[in-house]
Amino acid sequence: MAETSTRWREALADNTNPLYKAAWLVFTDRISAEMAFEHLKDAQEAVVPFLNEILADDSLFDNDSPGKGVAPANAVRLLGEYQAREAFPKILELYADSTSPAMRSASVYAVNKFGPEVLDQIIEWAGEDGTRRPKAAALMVEIGVGNDKAFETLLGWIDPEVSGLE
């Protein structure tokens, strides 16, 4: 289990903390990622590491945690808004491993914000063994419309015997 950070607790408790606004926006249910980003876009240097710390705190994913488990999904959406490439592998991991519809939705949202620039990372993440390919394909469909590389990759993943495309 990941080590629990206290930085988010400190930020929520102290209105003079530079991350106070970020903490309250991330821990609020039903917040618009676009609206939160508008409030936080000038603080990217401080906010992105803070969001990554939230994702590293396993206790925040629980429904009985502060924010009722919404903070990680909100953090993922905001990382997408920031297009924080350093967070992309973690976002893919959360997309693959989470059973939470909110987290899966947040991950797809973030991938859309990154756009086609992350296509190669998704293909690499899908791996050669095929176990992640269905999830990777769903993400590629989101960002790969009109992209020849996405189309060719997806076509290459289709089993000719099943699809009839021999």
Domain-located, residue 2: no
What pLDDT, on a 0 to 100 scale, did the predictor assign at position 155? 86
Taking the CA atoms of 156, 92, 78 and 43 in sequence, report the sign of the dihedral they define: negative
Number of domains in the chain: 1
Average pLDDT, the chain: 89
Domain-located, residue 1: no
CA atoms of 121 and 88, how far apart (whole Å): 9
pLDDT digits (tens, 9 = 90+) for 140-149: 988 888 888 8
Tokens of 137: 């394909």
Tokens of 143: 């960002």
| Full residue range of the structural domain in which residue 133 is found | 7-163
Token look-up 């419309």 returns: 145
CA atoms of 20 and 38, how far apart (whole Å): 15
In the chain, pLDDT over 70 holds for what percent of residues?
92
What pLDDT, on a 0 to 100 scale, did the predictor assign at position 163? 47
Ramachandran quadrant class, 2 (left: phi over 0; alpha: psi -120 to 50; beta: rest): beta
Domain-located, residue 62: yes
Does pLDDT of 14 surpass 50?
A: yes
Does pLDDT of 157 surpass 50?
A: yes
